[in-house]
Amino acid sequence: MPCSRSKCLFLGLILVGSLPAAAVKPLQSPDIHIFPLRHFLTQQSGYIFSGTVERVERLAPRTAGSVAVMRITFHVDRGLRGTRTGQTLVIREWAGLWQAGGRYRLGERVMLFLYPPSKLGLTSPVGGASGRFVVDPLGRVIIEPRKVGLTRTHFPANMRMEPLKFFRALHRSEGE
């Protein structure tokens, strides 16, 4: 049974995340294109930034046909795409994502690769947990190499890097 493009892409991301980086090469078929996750993170993101969670609110459904939404407010510590350093950014996520563990805590520092907002104004991290990184108290991204489809030859385990340097390193490694 053929799968929809989005379902195939989701399944491809699961596959990419479970393979060593050396085994992940661009795969093309008439129905789907699967690229290494690091390429997917940067290419699919509408917003890329590191920031601090300032507020988390649950918004109840407005009508019988709508869904509950979480509204998260960030202070953008370092804007890289779709944001500016110093701005306040408010995003909306489907509340159902929070049941799967994708929660934000007040004061938490993160680097996010977010999809552009949907027609309903909702967004989420690209690739789920793969599009979300912890930022340490000094503002450095804690990089888990396997999370972005990289081996230790690219980054040592749990290396810490400034957000801009991490973003540039992902771009440099796209062609590999």
Residues linked to residue 125 through DSSP beta bridges, in sequence order: 114
For the chain of 176 residues, list the mean pLDDT of each consecutive stretch of 10.
40 37 34 46 91 95 86 97 97 84 90 94 89 93 71 64 86 57
CATH number given to 42-173 = 2.40.50
- pLDDT the model gives residue 62: 83
Instruction: Kindly report the pTM of this predicted structure.
Output: 0.72
Domain ranges within the chain, ordered by starting residue: 42-173
Tens digits of residue pLDDT in 48-65:
999 999 999 999 888 888
